[in-house]
């Protein structure tokens, strides 16, 4: 906890911005990247205090961000130059991780997208070392290594979306499985909204609340169903306050409803409030 509090004082910005700067509208207190390959996530913030991979991802998630994903050789060089220019020369965490026990299957933690760019040292991973990753910044080759998720401490960079791309309205159609879903008007989400998720037959819904920052009077309700003998969905959970990296799964149905009920001032920086969630389909028959 002491480390996390101290960390708030060591965030570095690459460039300064004025309140009228378009970059502020896009990125808030993050910095706008130069020519990102993934233009939907052009905002970043540098943290020089070393933490473990798990701690850094928790810190990024608390700001509606994730550890950096690298989508091209150009982005890799950009992040390497950024690290070196900020004296991060002994390595930094990156967002690639091994989600399952299959060492060949690595994804970016921001969306669990398979790696398009791979730059492992000697072109391979070291079995048994760890399921998380770091970039070696002491060389222009900027190669990657796998590392233990809760032991190795390194600095890091968080990356997040352009705020101006988030709709201020509730979605007209149901979001797709696997995509990030932000509350309407994020990061000042005062519009009530509901979301209906339906999985294929013999599948269930797994909902991940990546980040929720709200007051104790703002509610994110999770409902399940309908299903046989119940005409309407039944409530599973009611969340308020701050929630990071928690998952909920349907048990009796392949359907789930999420309802956002904002009622108070946010608990985030500058009164921010809202959520970032994602759902996936989980195989396994639900109970009839």
Mean pLDDT for 234-245 is 90
Angle at 128 (CA atoms; ends 127, 129), nearest 5 degrees: 95
- When pLDDT is cut at 50, 70 and 90, the band that residue 230 belongs to is low
Q: Yes or no: say if 145 and 136 are a contact pair by the CB < 8 Å rule.
A: yes
Residues 176 and 53 in one domain: no
Residues 113 and 193 in one domain: no
Q: Which of these three, 94, 129, 160, is where a domain ends? A: 160
Mean pLDDT for 29-46 is 90
CATH code of residue 60: 3.10.100.10
pTM beyond cutoff 0.95 = no
Which pLDDT score, from 0 to 100, does residue 194 have? 94
Which pLDDT score, from 0 to 100, does residue 74 have? 94
Q: Yes or no: say if 244 and 61 are a contact pair by the CB < 8 Å rule.
A: yes
Determine the structural domain holding residue 45 and report its residue range. 2-160
- Count of CB atoms within 10 A of residue 201's CB? 8
Top pLDDT among 12 and 174 is at: 174
Residues 257 and 123 in one domain: no
Residues 187 and 69 in one domain: no
- When pLDDT is cut at 50, 70 and 90, the band that residue 225 belongs to is confident
* β-bridge partners, 188: 273
CA distance 164 to 26: 5
CA distance 181 to 178: 9
Which pLDDT score, from 0 to 100, does residue 15 have? 45
CA distance 242 to 45: 21
CATH code of residue 198: 2.60.120.290
What is the end-to-end Cα distance of the chain in Å, rounded? 45
Pick from 34-43, 198-207, 253-262: least confident: 34-43
Q: Which residue has the tokens 């970039």?
A: 135
- Count of CB atoms within 10 A of residue 193's CB? 17
Residues 123 and 176 in one domain: no
- When pLDDT is cut at 50, 70 and 90, the band that residue 13 belongs to is very low
3 state DSSP class of 244: strand
Q: Structural domain tally of the chain? A: 2
Top pLDDT among 90 and 215 is at: 90
Q: Which of 141-155, 180-194, 198-212 has the highest mean pLDDT?
A: 141-155
- 184, pLDDT greater than 80: yes
Mean pLDDT for 82-106 is 93
- When pLDDT is cut at 50, 70 and 90, the band that residue 269 belongs to is low
Residue 288 lies in a domain: no
- When pLDDT is cut at 50, 70 and 90, the band that residue 235 belongs to is confident
- Using the 8-state DSSP alphabet, how is residue 231 labeled? S
| Tokens (6 digits) for 28 | 């808030």
């Amino acid at each position: 906890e002491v480390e996390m509090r101290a960390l708030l004082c060591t965030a570095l910005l690459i460039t300064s911005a004025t309140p009228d700067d378009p970059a502020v509208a896009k990125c808030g207190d993050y910095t706008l990247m130069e020519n990102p390959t993934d233009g939907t996530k052009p905002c970043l913030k540098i943290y020089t205090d070393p933490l473990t991979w798990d701690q850094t991802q928790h810190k990024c998630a608390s700001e509606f961000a994730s550890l950096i994903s690298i989508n091209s050789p150009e982005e890799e060089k950009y992040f390497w130059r950024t690290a070196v220019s900020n004296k991060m020369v002994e390595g930094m965490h990156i967002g690639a991780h091994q989600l399952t026990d299959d060492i060949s299957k690595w994804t970016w933690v921001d969306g669990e997208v398979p790696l398009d760019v791979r730059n492992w040292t000697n072109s391979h991973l070291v079995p048994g070392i760890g399921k998380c990753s770091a970039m070696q910044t002491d060389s222009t080759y900027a190669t990657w290594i796998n590392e233990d998720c809760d032991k190795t401490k390194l600095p890091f960079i968080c990356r997040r979306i352009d705020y101006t791309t988030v709709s201020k309205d509730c979605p007209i159609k149901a979001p797709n499985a696997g995509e990030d879903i932000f509350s309407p008007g994020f990061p000042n989400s005062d519009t009530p909204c509901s979301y209906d998720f339906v999985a294929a037959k013999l599948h269930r819904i797994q909902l991940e609340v990546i980040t929720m920052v709200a007051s104790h009077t703002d509610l994110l309700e999770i409902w399940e169903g309908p299903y046989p003998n119940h005409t309407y969905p039944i409530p599973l959970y009611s969340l308020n306050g701050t929630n990071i990296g928690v998952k909920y799964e349907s048990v009796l149905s392949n359907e789930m409803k999420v309802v956002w009920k904002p009622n108070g001032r946010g608990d985030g920086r500058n009164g921010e409030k809202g959520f970032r969630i994602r759902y996936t389909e989980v195989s396994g028959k639900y109970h009839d």
